């Protein structure tokens, strides 16, 4: 992966977007080699956070053939990013289970597995999504989302003519570095 990334960056085939494309190729290569199942790690963060080292190591490969430092840098990027991603995935799962328990005990009248799934599919939900997924009619969907807001699981925000409900804990987990 490190060698592939270096070669792509050295060729620099596009006038714009080489860095982003090269970083995407890293993750796709890890998937292709079955080192990860899904392209869920975000190597760009590590590379951008260590931009000076990244460019120094790239340059040293080009000018001095110093592959070891470059490969070790890229392996550390995968290691740290994987660790962070696993921590987030585990945090989301633990939070998901605690929300299931909270809704089951404090609002059993609105609990359904499908409702909890919807609010964990993305950080924001709206009435129309519950209608579309055939979880509830418009009025009932509104009641469900307001009840989840009362429980502190969601927070509403009016955007234009629409009310969006943000999954607070999911948003926090995904936002933390």
List the CATH number of the domain containing 118.
Answer: 1.10.10.10
Whether this prediction's pTM lies above 0.75 is answered by: yes
Between 145 and 11, the more confident residue is 145
Residue 157 within any structural domain of the chain: yes
Are residue 10 and residue 75 in the same domain, yes or no? yes
Are residue 11 and residue 80 in the same domain, yes or no? yes
Cβ atoms 113, 124 nearer than 8 A: no
Are residue 112 and residue 76 in the same domain, yes or no? no
Are residue 81 and residue 113 in the same domain, yes or no? no
Query: What's the number of domains the chain is made of?
Result: 2
Are residue 43 and residue 115 in the same domain, yes or no? no
Are residue 78 and residue 115 in the same domain, yes or no? no
Residue 145 within any structural domain of the chain: yes
Are residue 37 and residue 77 in the same domain, yes or no? yes
Residues 82-122 pLDDT 10s: 999 999 999 999 999 999 999 999 999 999 999 999 999 99
From 87, 121, 141, give the residue that closes a domain.
87
β-pair type (154-159, 162-167): antiparallel
Residue 101 within any structural domain of the chain: no
Residue 167 within any structural domain of the chain: yes
Poorest-confidence range of 39-43, 145-149, 165-169?
39-43
**How many Å apart are CA 71 and CA 50, to the nearest integer?**
14
From 58, 87, 116, give the residue that closes a domain.
87
> Which whole-number Å values give the CA distances from 160 to 14, 16, 164, in the listed order?
39, 35, 10
Residue 95 within any structural domain of the chain: no
Residue 122 within any structural domain of the chain: yes
* Mean pLDDT score, 1-16: 91
Q: Where residue 17 falls among pLDDT bands split at 50, 70, 90?
A: confident
> Which whole-number Å values give the CA distances from 25 to 48, 52, 172, in the listed order?
16, 21, 28
Q: Is the pLDDT of residue 16 over 90?
A: no
Q: Residue 113's domain spans which residues?
A: 108-175
């Amino acid at each position: 992966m490190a060698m592939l990334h270096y070669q792509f960056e050295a060729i620099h085939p596009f006038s714009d977007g080489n860095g982003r494309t090269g970083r995407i190729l890293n993750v796709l290569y890890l998937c292709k080699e079955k080192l990860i199942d899904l392209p869920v790690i975000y190597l760009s963060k590590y590379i951008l956070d260590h931009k000076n080292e990244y460019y120094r190591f790239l340059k040293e490969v080009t000018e001095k053939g110093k592959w070891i430092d470059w490969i070790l840098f890229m392996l550390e990027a995968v290691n740290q990013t994987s660790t962070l991603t696993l921590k987030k995935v585990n945090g989301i799962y633990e939070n998901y289970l605690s929300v299931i328990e909270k809704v089951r005990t404090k609002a059993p009248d609105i609990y359904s597995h499908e409702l909890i799934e919807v609010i964990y599919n993305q950080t924001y939900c709206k009435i129309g999504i519950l209608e579309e997924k055939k979880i509830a009619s418009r009025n009932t969907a509104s009641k469900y989302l307001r009840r989840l807001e009362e429980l502190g699981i969601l927070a509403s925000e009016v955007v234009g003519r629409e009310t969006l409900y943000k999954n607070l804990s999911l948003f926090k987990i995904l936002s933390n570095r």
